[in-house]
Amino acid sequence: MKYKKLKGTVDILPEESAKWQAIEEQARYILHNYQFSEIRSPLFEQFDLYARGVGETSDIVSKEMYDFTDKGNRHLALRPEGTAGIVRAFVENKLYAPEYHKPMKLYYMGAMFRYERPQSGRQRQFNQLGVEVFGSKNPAVDVETMALAMDIFKSFNIKDLKLVINSLGDSASRVKYREALISYLEPHFEELSKDSKERLYKNPLRVLDSKNEKDKAIVKDAPSILDFLDDESKNHFETVKYMLEMLSIPYEIDKNMVRGLDYYNDTIFEIMTTHKKFGSNATICAGGRYDSLVEEVGGPSTPAFGFGVGLERLILLLDLMGYTYSNKLALDAYVVTIGEQVNAAATKLTQYLRQNHLSVEREFMNRKPGKQFKTADKWNARYVFTMGEEELVQNKVMIKNLKNGLQQDISLNDLYNDFEKTFSELEIKLESKDE
Ligand code: ATP
Ligand code: MG
């Protein structure tokens, strides 16, 4: 083979895409219940938007960006995450204007691109479902949005889930905490990983997020941000916890949890699966509050809350659980053709049935009738419509209910003159003698 797909990308083949459709449909249904509307933003943006929005020292910007210069010499990047682009769209389209209801609740689904080492649950092109809520600092927004994420997972009967929360406080608390963290980490400087050494003064909170085992052991006893929160942040976090308890949503607090993106403040959260067979990349949803990003990107100060769900990881989990997806591609009828001479009549019949809202496939390969019936069986067709030379001459079609084997021929004139009446009478005939 001359051409191969690129490392870290996948072809989603028909069997797999049916799963994607089922997930997307169900998620949209729940998002609708929560009154979220879809926003679609470009797959690429100015590189600087991400550098600014996501943070220069984040892994995403410093290591994982697919950036390039286009023919007009612009420095661009494929989107590594959804929030920065949505915030840019929010600001550029002045969605903060008073005529828009607040909070504004938006969601998106689509491909993200990160230059990462591919492994299970980690690709270079992957898909996220994300939501962003703009314009409210109410802790009820944090709670409702986390509840939404949990509801999406619950709707698939996922039980092995853990909601982990933390608070990052406001920027003044983080400045104080930053100093305390640096003082704690400095004596361990030589033991830290190369990345963490580099981050210690640039962005020490990111050291807490390190995946290096030695780093992890060191940060285990680091001071907690929760001890540095001011009263407002403390109250906010207390209210979030209270409301989660009121809704009987279990949670854990991880006082060392920070997020891979730099723009968060106050509530942050992750939802991980605790399924035994799930590998190391167990976080399927992550997000939090980001009250300063809109201003950072050039808009008026606007509080916000959002999350991203890794859809590949969700599908991996559903596969491990043996989840059965509803069969949306159910087939109402298979048109069996016997002999080339019925080709045109079969085309007419097939199109006619489709125009009357049946899902229909026909034989194109002129195989032996037995083979055609096997296909109809395999695809779980409700009915087989058979057209052979005899039917053609008599202007009829033979219809068989595959479940009970009952069959009946009907006049094509009747069918074409009054589909509703002819077909409903036929359905009754083919069911009634049942059992
Ligand atoms: P990780 O620590 O696993 O690298 P992250 O902090 O980089 O995750 P976010 O940027 O918060 O992840 O993205 C939200 C979610 O998107 C993750 O929890 C995960 O489910 C999914 N995700 C992130 N990167 C990838 C990837 N390369 N391939 C597949 N899914 C991903
Ligand atoms: Mg990552």
Average pLDDT for 56-76: 94
Q: What is the mean pLDDT of the chain?
A: 94
* pLDDT cut 90: percent of the chain above it: 86
In the predicted structure, residue 434 carries a pLDDT above the cut 60? no
Distance 111 CA to ligand 1 centre (A): 12
Ligand 1: residue of 57, 66, 112, 216 to mutate (most ligand atoms within 8 A of CB) is 112
Ligand 1 atom with minimal separation from the 59 CA: 7
Ligand 1: residue of 86, 128, 278 to mutate (most ligand atoms within 8 A of CB) is 128
Q: Return the amino acid letter for 9.
A: T
Look at residue 258 in the predicted model and tell me its pLDDT: 84
Ligand 1 atom with minimal separation from the 124 CA: 27
Average pLDDT for 234-250: 97
Distance CA 269, CA 251 (A): 10
Look at residue 242 in the predicted model and tell me its pLDDT: 98
Distance 211 CA to ligand 1 centre (A): 13
Considering the chain, tell me which residue range(s) the CATH 3.40.50.800 domain(s) occupy: 333-434
Decide: helix, strand or coil at residue 266.
strand
In the predicted structure, residue 56 carries a pLDDT above the cut 90? no
Confidence band for 327, pLDDT divided at 50, 70 and 90? low
Average pLDDT for 2-25: 94
Ligand 1 atom with minimal separation from the 308 CA: 14
Distances (CA, A) of 240 to 246, 263, 276: 10, 20, 29
In the predicted structure, residue 278 carries a pLDDT above the cut 90? no
Confidence band for 256, pLDDT divided at 50, 70 and 90? confident
308 is in an annotated binding site: no
Q: What tokens does 291 get?
A: 């009250």
Distance CA 152, CA 29 (A): 9
- Global confidence as pTM: 0.90
Ligand 1 atom with minimal separation from the 313 CA: 20
Look at residue 423 in the predicted model and tell me its pLDDT: 96
- Residue 4 makes CB contacts below 8 A (sequence gap 6+) with none
Decide which of 58 and 308 is more confident: 308
Look at residue 284 in the predicted model and tell me its pLDDT: 96
Distances (CA, A) of 144 to 66, 110, 138, 168, 244: 34, 23, 10, 19, 9
String of DSSP letters for 153-215 = HHTTT---EEEEEEE---HHHHHHHHHHHHHHHGGGGGGS-HHHHHHHHH-GGGGGG---HHH
Look at residue 57 in the predicted model and tell me its pLDDT: 79
Please identify, in words, the CATH class of the domain defined by 14-170+230-321.
Answer: alpha beta
Average pLDDT for 280-285: 90
* Helix, strand, coil percent values for the chain (each to nearest 5): 45, 20, 35
Look at residue 260 in the predicted model and tell me its pLDDT: 63
263 is in an annotated binding site: yes
Q: Is 260 a pocket residue for ligand 1 (Cβ < 6 Å)?
A: yes
* Residue the block writes with tokens 């920027």: 171
Look at residue 58 in the predicted model and tell me its pLDDT: 84
34 is in an annotated binding site: no
Look at residue 328 in the predicted model and tell me its pLDDT: 59
Confidence band for 325, pLDDT divided at 50, 70 and 90? confident
Considering the chain, tell me which residue range(s) the CATH 3.30.930.10 domain(s) occupy: 14-170+230-321
Look at residue 171 in the predicted model and tell me its pLDDT: 86
Look at residue 246 in the predicted model and tell me its pLDDT: 97
Average pLDDT for 188-217: 90
132 is in an annotated binding site: yes
> How many beta carbons lie within 10 A of that of residue 352, not counting itself?
15
Confidence band for 326, pLDDT divided at 50, 70 and 90? confident
Q: In this structure, which residue's CA is closest to atom 26 in ligand 1?
A: 122
Q: In this structure, which residue's CA is closest to atom 24 in ligand 1?
A: 122
Distance 120 CA to ligand 2 centre (A): 13
Q: Write down the architecture of domain 333-434 according to CATH.
A: 3-Layer(aba) Sandwich (3.40)
Q: Is 268 a pocket residue for ligand 1 (Cβ < 6 Å)?
A: no
Q: Chain centroid to CA 231: how far?
A: 36
Q: What tokens does 427 get?
A: 């359905």
**Closest ligand (CA of 279):** 1
In the predicted structure, residue 432 carries a pLDDT above the cut 90? no
Distance CA 159, CA 147 (A): 14
Distance 56 CA to ligand 1 centre (A): 18
In which element (H, E) is residue 283 found? strand 283-289
In the predicted structure, residue 80 carries a pLDDT above the cut 70? yes
In the predicted structure, residue 433 carries a pLDDT above the cut 60? no
> How many beta carbons lie within 10 A of that of residue 158, not counting itself?
19
Distance CA 81, CA 128 (A): 8
In the predicted structure, residue 164 carries a pLDDT above the cut 70? yes
Look at residue 131 in the predicted model and tell me its pLDDT: 98
Distance 243 CA to ligand 1 centre (A): 27
pLDDT tens column, 176-190: 999 999 999 999 999
Q: Is 123 a pocket residue for ligand 1 (Cβ < 6 Å)?
A: yes
Ligand 1 atom with minimal separation from the 209 CA: 2
> How many beta carbons lie within 10 A of that of residue 75, not counting itself?
12
Q: Is 312 a pocket residue for ligand 1 (Cβ < 6 Å)?
A: yes
pLDDT tens column, 149-162: 999 999 999 998 99
pLDDT tens column, 350-407: 999 999 999 999 999 999 999 999 999 999 999 999 999 999 999 999 999 999 999 9
String of DSSP letters for 380-426 = T-SEEEEE-HHHHHHTEEEEEETTT--EEEEEHHHHHH-HHHHHHHH
Look at residue 106 in the predicted model and tell me its pLDDT: 98
Q: Return the amino acid letter for 85.
A: G
Q: What is the CA radius of gyration of the chain?
A: 29
In the predicted structure, residue 244 carries a pLDDT above the cut 90? yes
> How many beta carbons lie within 10 A of that of residue 12, not counting itself?
13
Distance CA 55, CA 61 (A): 7
* Residue the block writes with tokens 């992957």: 126
Q: Is 76 a pocket residue for ligand 1 (Cβ < 6 Å)?
A: no
198 is in an annotated binding site: no
